[in-house]
Amino acid sequence: MKPKFSIALCTFNSIEYIEQCINSLLHQTLKDFELIIVDDGSSDGTIDYLNQLTDPRIRLQILGQNHGLIYARTQAFAAARADYIALMDADDIAHPQRLEAQLRVLEAGNVDICGTRYQTLDTATARLRKRPSYVRNADLRALLSIYCPLCNPTVSFKRTLLEISGYQEAFRHAEDYAFWTALSAADCVFYIVPRHLLTYRVHPQQVSRVKSGAARESFLKAQGQYVQALLGIAAPPQSMPFAARMDTGWRFMQALNRRLPGTSLAANYEIYAEFQYRRNGWRTPFLRLERLVVAWLSSLTGRLGSH
């Protein structure tokens, strides 16, 4: 009998944090899962630790050499037997009820991709900080036009979505963002459980920090493709003078809200800010007012267009 969840966990030189990560998964309130661990060429003792694990739900793959996250996670996806796949990073900690809460949402049938809220743990200061997030489908898909509103290791999704898209080498270091935007462009439904069900470690060794330049290049490429696929617009939001944003920016906001009716005032406010310049000095109050008015009118456009 296939399990309810396949957890995709990729490791690479993770010995410092891996035990706490795996323990948090093995002690989930939902017990019916398989934990697929793909080690991507570790040399720090991670493999020795993994080889000592005896829980029958663990399925271990040792790649032997480093191929990179995209290859390793694709191997985990290919091995998955369950209808739902949960992402996890080797340095994070899952709340005991994470899988149980996400299963309830995914089995209800109207959500394809389900994340959760999370808290960050700064390894330098040991400071915990709870992170707010948007939760609704329209907001999440709209915000994907400017950044990734999902915390990747909180996310679970239907395995059938891999027939639409997967991880692509063309978007190395922004592969998660490219995956989510491809699924959003295909009209998949997103939701975030409004509970903090993961602790996300922040430390200097993270790929998002070490590879920030390459990640930015991949992000911009995926962002441009997403905006084009979603709205038929050639360029994503970028800073421009007042007259230009009253034309280009306003048309973008109208198109976005017609495509994703129900996008909130707060999300529209964030998105339109990308059309404005930063560090505006005395102009700041006027730009905030402009942003608020455009966001309100954009939300109204979406509401009227949905009737």
Q: Where are the domains of the chain?
A: 5-214, 237-305
Dihedral sign for Cα 204, 207, 208, 213, please: positive
Report H helices in the chain: 18-26, 46-51, 69-79, 98-107, 137-143, 175-185, 207-210, 212-231, 242-244, 250-259, 265-273, 284-305
Show Cβ contacts of residue 108 under 8 Å, excluding neighbours closer than 6 positions. Answer: none
Structure tokens at 15: 């010995």
pLDDT of residue 279: 83
C-alpha 29/C-alpha 85 separation (Å) is: 17
pLDDT of residue 206: 58
250 closest CA partner among 302, 306, 298: 298
12 φ, ψ to 5°? -155, 110
For helices 250-259 and 284-305, what crossing angle results, to 10°? 40
Structure tokens at 153: 């290791």
The pTM for the full model equals: 0.94
- For the chain, what's the residue count? 307
For helices 250-259 and 265-273, what crossing angle results, to 10°? 140
pLDDT band, residue 95 (cuts 50/70/90) = very high
pLDDT tens-digit readout, 209-263: 545 778 899 999 999 999 999 999 999 999 999 999 999 999 999 999 999 999 9
Fold adopted by 5-214: Spore Coat Polysaccharide Biosynthesis Protein SpsA; Chain A (3.90.550)
C-alpha 68/C-alpha 63 separation (Å) is: 11
Report H helices in 108-244: 137-143, 175-185, 207-210, 212-231, 242-244
- How many helices (H) and strands (E) are present in the chain, helices listed first? 12, 9
pLDDT at 208 over 70: no
C-alpha distances in Å from residue 88, one per residue of 7, 198, 202, 220, 279: 7, 10, 15, 25, 37
C-alpha 145/C-alpha 142 separation (Å) is: 6
Structure tokens at 289: 């007012």
C-alpha 257/C-alpha 301 separation (Å) is: 6
194 or 124, higher pLDDT: 194
pLDDT of residue 304: 77
Show Cβ contacts of residue 183 under 8 Å, excluding neighbours closer than 6 positions. Answer: 112, 113, 157, 161, 164, 165
pLDDT at 114 over 50: yes
pLDDT tens-digit readout, 134-144: 999 999 999 99
- Cα Rg, the chain, nearest whole Å: 20
Q: Parallel, antiparallel, or unpaired: how do β-strands 190-202 and 93-94 relate?
A: antiparallel
Dihedral sign for Cα 189, 1, 162, 86, please: positive
CB 177 within 8 A of CB 134: no
Which residue is listed with tokens 């019916």?
32
In angstroms, how far is CA 263 from the centroid of its own chain?
18
307 or 152, higher pLDDT: 152
